């Protein structure tokens, strides 16, 4: 016999659904629409000119009509005395295999007349340069192969660049596999289509596995070929290994002097190295120590011992040009990762606060901390917070005074200002503190609103949470309060990680319900990656969630089967991160974690919107849930872990909005094109009602 919580959970779903026959369908009118959130303008990390006068940056924005992104390079005076000036087209944004944009970095010529950058334009990746003093943009390299990397000489007269195989050779290698069959080995990305199915460097390619599930293109192992071009004469020559640009200083280079180096910055003039070293077990957001190494081969480490840099989450470090000061950024969890900037004088040991924020100073948009451009006098930072989309600001390094340089999202910011937003703090049943960004619902009376939660990271302008799939501001404006919860720490034990997420959600619901802000019987939840795993865990081990949504698969026997082809690197990671062996070796723990083995405990309807590269991992539980009318499943072609195609982003946003309005508010959008969607969801609702009656023994 099912327990009382099962009936309570089902009653919540059914009682909400019955409202469909009562409420009249009212067309949705948006103050902040899903489309506006998709079309937010994002920035690259700014780069300041050698004389500190100008800042260069790239802006990119989604085009839903053309299903692509428009990118533009700009320069602007650092004093803000004139508006930004367009320099050139930035090309198709290059992305890593998870769908996250590769940082677009401009390199200034020593005289400040040009910026150099890598761009995919007209189907090829070259080094381009744009004039900072005119309106000229020109291709510098003209190779028959895509450029992988480049470096400008200190005098600005020579550009060195590397290429891989020619574009013709890449196409031929891919076609040869297509014609003769693709041999499966440990580098084959099982679980996705195998011929030109994923984007690498802005083009659909045939992929292989690099490190674990990181995808690389088929010919990535072809060695670099380096060339040099004389920029005055245009002469190109092949160069030997001895003439390659010097390798960037890596943490491993300092192992003999300093252990656990996480980040570093080298002062080009003096050779001093500012270091961030890990001091705890956390790996992605560790406690850090700030220190300085006087020279590459020095043994004496000078540590920052001031209160401002002791026991803090320091996330960034760089040298202030021409000074003895290191600029560092603190990103504390208890303030929801709201950043503060400090100056540390490495000679005197003095530390000075520069500026604080309610959001991020280095927020390139949706992918976490970026880097501010720096001059001797000021920083150029992309700033963002929960209700403020990215914009470019100048931050004075002496006074902390801030000045907006460029705000392409000003209209959206004005619309977002109408939605109450706050940093929420609460404790779980074990007394642990959590933080999250809360968007309070628009309410039409004293009735508590439904709540939607997503769990993982909530940096800067949250928009759709980690993975950017739930239009949080739109949902709040449409009457569903939304909460993006920050994961406070990373435990090596899977049960502890997931249990912490579950208790965080339950604690937030208890806090908000006790204050009369939300209805504890109408709670939605969704997530990407680890957020998706916590969502599935919470569905299995709790009855707090009324309806759910997941954008990526979680641990399953199919994931184990396909991943085991990788061999020991995958198996050891599974043992370390999830304490799992083969399904027949660690049966009890598989039973605790895997949704495939807990189908009978999943009582809330769930929307699954997977990328094509990953959906096969989930079929062991997605198909049974779909066949029992408890899940609605969608797969998006050519998408990696983080979906990025604008039309797909809009479709995901819109369907998630419709899904939670249906299950939590009993609302159906009267748009005729959605009639079949709602007919299916009503069918799911009817099936769940029938199951509930059967479980109760009704005739």
Q: Which residues contact 292 (CB under 8 A, 6 or more apart)?
A: 272, 273, 274, 275, 301, 302, 303, 304, 326, 346
Among 286-290, 391-395, 520-524, the minimum mean pLDDT is found in 286-290
Tell me, yes or no, whether 77 and 178 share the same domain. Answer: yes
Backbone angles phi and psi of 403, in degrees to 5: -140, 130
Q: What is the pLDDT of residue 6?
A: 40
Condensed to tens digits (0 to 9), the pLDDT of residues 99-141 reads 998 888 899 999 999 999 999 999 999 999 999 987 799 999 9
Is residue 374 domain-resident?
Answer: no
In percent, the amount of the chain with pLDDT more than 90 equals 80
What tokens were used for 442? 């628009």
Beta strands in 122-181 (DSSP E): 124-131, 137-139, 145-152, 158-166
Specify the number of domains making up the chain.
2
Query: Which residues lie across from 264 on neighbouring strands?
Result: 275
What tokens were used for 253? 């280079």
Return d(Cα 220, Cα 386) in angstroms, integer. 39
Measured torsion, CA atoms of residues 402, 111, 129, 93, in degrees rounded to the nearest 10? -30
Q: What is the pLDDT of residue 697?
A: 62
Sign of CA dihedral 447, 450, 455, 461: negative
Q: What is the CATH number of the domain that holds 436?
A: 3.40.50.1820
The confidence band for 693, taking pLDDT boundaries of 50, 70 and 90, is low
Alpha helices in 296-446 (DSSP H): 410-416
Tell me, yes or no, whether 138 and 172 share the same domain. Answer: yes
Tell me, yes or no, whether 22 and 139 share the same domain. Answer: no
Q: What is the pLDDT of residue 538?
A: 98
Is residue 499 domain-resident?
Answer: yes
Q: What is the pLDDT of residue 24?
A: 37
Residue where the block lists tokens 């969704």: 526
End position of a domain, from candidates 245, 267, 287: 245
- The per-residue pLDDT of the chain, averaged, comes to 91
Buried b (16+ CB within 10 A) or exposed e, 319-347: bbbebebbbbbbbebebbbbbbbbbbbbe
Condensed to tens digits (0 to 9), the pLDDT of residues 259-274 reads 889 999 999 899 999 9
| Number of neighbouring beta carbons within 10 Å of residue 505 | 27
What tokens were used for 224? 């670099």
Is residue 263 domain-resident?
Answer: no
Measured torsion, CA atoms of residues 439, 441, 446, 448, in degrees rounded to the nearest 10? -80
**CB-based burial of residue 402 (10 Å sphere; 0-12 exposed, 13-18 middle, 19+ buried)?**
middle
Tell me, yes or no, whether 63 and 106 share the same domain. Answer: yes
Tell me, yes or no, whether 95 and 213 share the same domain. Answer: yes
Q: What is the pLDDT of residue 250?
A: 86
End position of a domain, from candidates 218, 245, 272: 245
Is residue 468 domain-resident?
Answer: yes
Residue (of 364, 356, 415) closest to 387 by Cα position: 415
Sign of CA dihedral 610, 648, 419, 365: positive
Beta strands in 481-630 (DSSP E): 481-486, 518-527, 547-550, 606-611
Condensed to tens digits (0 to 9), the pLDDT of residues 29-75 reads 788 999 999 999 999 989 999 999 999 999 999 999 999 999 999 99
Residue (of 537, 535, 691) closest to 11 by Cα position: 691
Return d(Cα 343, Cα 397) in angstroms, integer. 8
Return d(Cα 26, Cα 230) in angstroms, integer. 66
The confidence band for 696, taking pLDDT boundaries of 50, 70 and 90, is low
Would you give the end-to-end CA distance of the chain in angstroms? 16
Among 6-10, 68-72, 638-642, the minimum mean pLDDT is found in 6-10
Return d(Cα 551, Cα 455) in angstroms, integer. 13
Tell me, yes or no, whether 532 and 666 share the same domain. Answer: yes
Return d(Cα 641, Cα 467) in angstroms, integer. 8
Tell me, yes or no, whether 12 and 122 share the same domain. Answer: no
What tokens were used for 444? 């039409």
Cα 143 from chain centroid (whole Å): 33
Return d(Cα 275, Cα 263) in angstroms, integer. 6
Report which DSSP code applies to 247. P
Tell me, yes or no, whether 544 and 615 share the same domain. Answer: yes
Using CA atoms, how far residue 463 sits from 94, 232, 233, 393, 440, in Å, is: 22, 46, 48, 20, 14
Is residue 380 domain-resident?
Answer: no
Considering only CA atoms, give the Rg of the chain. 26
Task: Indicate whether 15 pLDDT > 80.
Answer: no
Residue (of 521, 558, 550, 512) closest to 534 by Cα position: 550
Is residue 280 domain-resident?
Answer: no
End position of a domain, from candidates 193, 217, 245: 245
Buried b (16+ CB within 10 A) or exposed e, 44-57: bbbbbbeebebbbb
Is residue 470 domain-resident?
Answer: yes
Return d(Cα 436, Cα 336) in angstroms, integer. 6
Q: Which residues contact 160 (CB under 8 A, 6 or more apart)?
A: 150, 151, 153, 226, 227, 228, 229, 239, 243, 244, 245
Tell me, yes or no, whether 23 and 113 share the same domain. Answer: no
Q: What is the pLDDT of residue 561?
A: 95
Task: Indicate whether 523 pLDDT > 60.
Answer: yes
SS3 content of the chain, % helix, strand, coil (to 5): 25, 30, 40
Among 48-52, 208-212, 388-392, the minimum mean pLDDT is found in 208-212
Q: With beta carbons less than 8 A apart as the criterion, state whether 194 and 181 touch.
A: no
Q: With beta carbons less than 8 A apart as the criterion, state whether 227 and 236 touch.
A: yes
Tell me, yes or no, whether 99 and 17 share the same domain. Answer: no
Condensed to tens digits (0 to 9), the pLDDT of residues 80-108 reads 999 999 999 999 999 988 999 888 889 99
Using CA atoms, how far residue 362 sits from 292, 341, 366, 408, 657, in Å, is: 22, 10, 11, 17, 30
Tell me, yes or no, whether 507 and 643 share the same domain. Answer: yes
Give the three-class secondary structure for 367.
coil
Is residue 129 domain-resident?
Answer: yes
Q: What is the pLDDT of residue 699?
A: 53
Residue where the block lists tokens 């300093």: 258
The confidence band for 363, taking pLDDT boundaries of 50, 70 and 90, is low
The set of long-range contacts for 4-7, using a CB threshold of 8 Å and a minimum separation of 24, is 5/543, 6/543, 6/603, 6/695, 7/692, 7/695, 7/696
Sign of CA dihedral 624, 627, 631, 634: positive
Instruction: Give the residue-averaged pLDDT of 603-611.
Output: 97
Tell me, yes or no, whether 433 and 545 share the same domain. Answer: yes
Domain enclosing residue 451, as ranges: 4-30+419-556+594-696
Q: Which residues contact 575 (CB under 8 A, 6 or more apart)?
A: 581
């Amino acid at each position: 016999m099912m327990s009382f919580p099962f009936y309570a959970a089902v009653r919540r779903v059914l009682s909400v659904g019955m409202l469909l026959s009562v409420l009249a369908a009212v067309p949705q009118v948006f103050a902040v629409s899903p489309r506006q959130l998709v079309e937010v303008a994002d920035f690259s990390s700014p780069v300041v000119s050698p004389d500190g006068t100008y800042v260069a940056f790239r802006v990119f924005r989604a085009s839903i009509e053309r299903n692509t992104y428009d990118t533009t390079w700009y320069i602007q005076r650092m004093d803000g005395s004139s508006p930004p000036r367009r320099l050139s087209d930035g090309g198709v944004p290059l992305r890593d295999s998870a769908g996250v944009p590769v940082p677009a970095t401009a390199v200034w010529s020593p005289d400040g007349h040009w910026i150099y950058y890598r761009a995919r334009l007209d189907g090829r990746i070259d080094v381009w340069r744009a004039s900072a003093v005119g309106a000229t943009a020109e291709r510098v390299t003209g190779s028959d192969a895509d450029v992988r990397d480049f470096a400008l000489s200190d005098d600005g007269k020579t550009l060195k660049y590397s290429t891989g195989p020619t574009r013709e050779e890449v196409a031929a290698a891919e076609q040869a596999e297509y014609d003769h069959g693709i041999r499966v080995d440990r580098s084959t990305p099982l679980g996705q289509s195998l011929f030109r199915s994923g984007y690498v460097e802005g083009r659909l390619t045939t992929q292989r596995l690099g490190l674990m599930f990181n995808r690389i293109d088929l010919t990535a192992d072809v060695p670099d070929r380096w060339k040099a071009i004389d920029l005055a004469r245009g002469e190109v020559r092949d160069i030997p290994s001895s003439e390659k640009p010097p390798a960037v200083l890596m943490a491993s280079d300092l192992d003999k002097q300093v252990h656990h180096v996480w980040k570093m910055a080298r002062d080009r003039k003096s050779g001093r190295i500012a270091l961030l070293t890990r001091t705890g077990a956390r790996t992605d957001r560790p406690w850090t120590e700030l220190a300085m190494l006087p020279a590459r081969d020095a043994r004496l480490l000078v540590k920052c011992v001031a209160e401002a840099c002791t026991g803090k989450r320091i996330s960034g470090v760089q040298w202030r040009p021409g000074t003895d000061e290191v600029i560092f950024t603190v990103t504390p969890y208890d303030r929801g990762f709201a950043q503060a900037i400090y100056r540390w004088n490495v000679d005197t040991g003095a530390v000075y606060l520069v500026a604080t924020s309610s959001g991020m100073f280095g927020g390139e948009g949706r992918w976490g901390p970026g880097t501010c451009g720096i001059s001797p006098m000021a920083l150029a930072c992309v700033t963002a917070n929960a209700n403020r989309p990215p914009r470019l600001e100048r931050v004075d390094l002496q006074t902390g005074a801030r000045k907006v340089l460029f705000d392409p999202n000003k209209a959206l910011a004005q619309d977002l200002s109408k939605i109450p937003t706050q940093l929420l703090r609460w404790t779980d049943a074990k007394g642990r503190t959590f933080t999250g960004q809360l968007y309070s619902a628009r309410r039409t009376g004293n009735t508590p609103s439904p709540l939607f939660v997503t769990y993982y990271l909530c940096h800067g302008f949250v928009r759709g949470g980690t993975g950017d799939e739930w239009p949080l501001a739109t949902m709040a404006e449409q009457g569903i309060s939304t909460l993006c919860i920050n994961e406070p720490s990373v435990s090596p034990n899977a049960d502890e990680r997931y249990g912490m997420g579950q208790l965080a959600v339950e604690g937030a619901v208890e806090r908000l319900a006790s204050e009369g802000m939300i209805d504890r019987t109408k709670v939605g939840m969704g997530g990407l990656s680890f957020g998706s795993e916590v969502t599935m865990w919470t569905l299995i081990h709790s009855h707090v969630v009324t309806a759910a949504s997941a954008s990526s698969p979680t641990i399953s026997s199919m994931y184990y089967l396909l991943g085991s082809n990788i061999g020991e690197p995958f198996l050891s990671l599974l043992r370390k991160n999830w304490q799992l062996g083969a399904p027949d070796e660690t049966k009890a723990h598989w039973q605790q974690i895997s949704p495939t083995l807990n189908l009978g405990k999943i009582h809330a309807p769930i929307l699954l919107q997977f990328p094509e590269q990953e959906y096969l991992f989930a079929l062991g539980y997605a198909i049974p849930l779909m066949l029992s009318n408890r899940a609605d499943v969608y797969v998006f072609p050519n998408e990696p872990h983080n979906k990025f195609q604008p039309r797909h982003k809009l479709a995901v946003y819109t369907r998630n909005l419709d899904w939670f309005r249906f299950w939590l508010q009993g609302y159906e959008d009267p748009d005729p094109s959605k009639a079949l969607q709602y007919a299916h969801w009503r069918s799911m609702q009817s099936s769940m009602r029938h199951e509930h009656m059967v479980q109760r023994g009704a005739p």
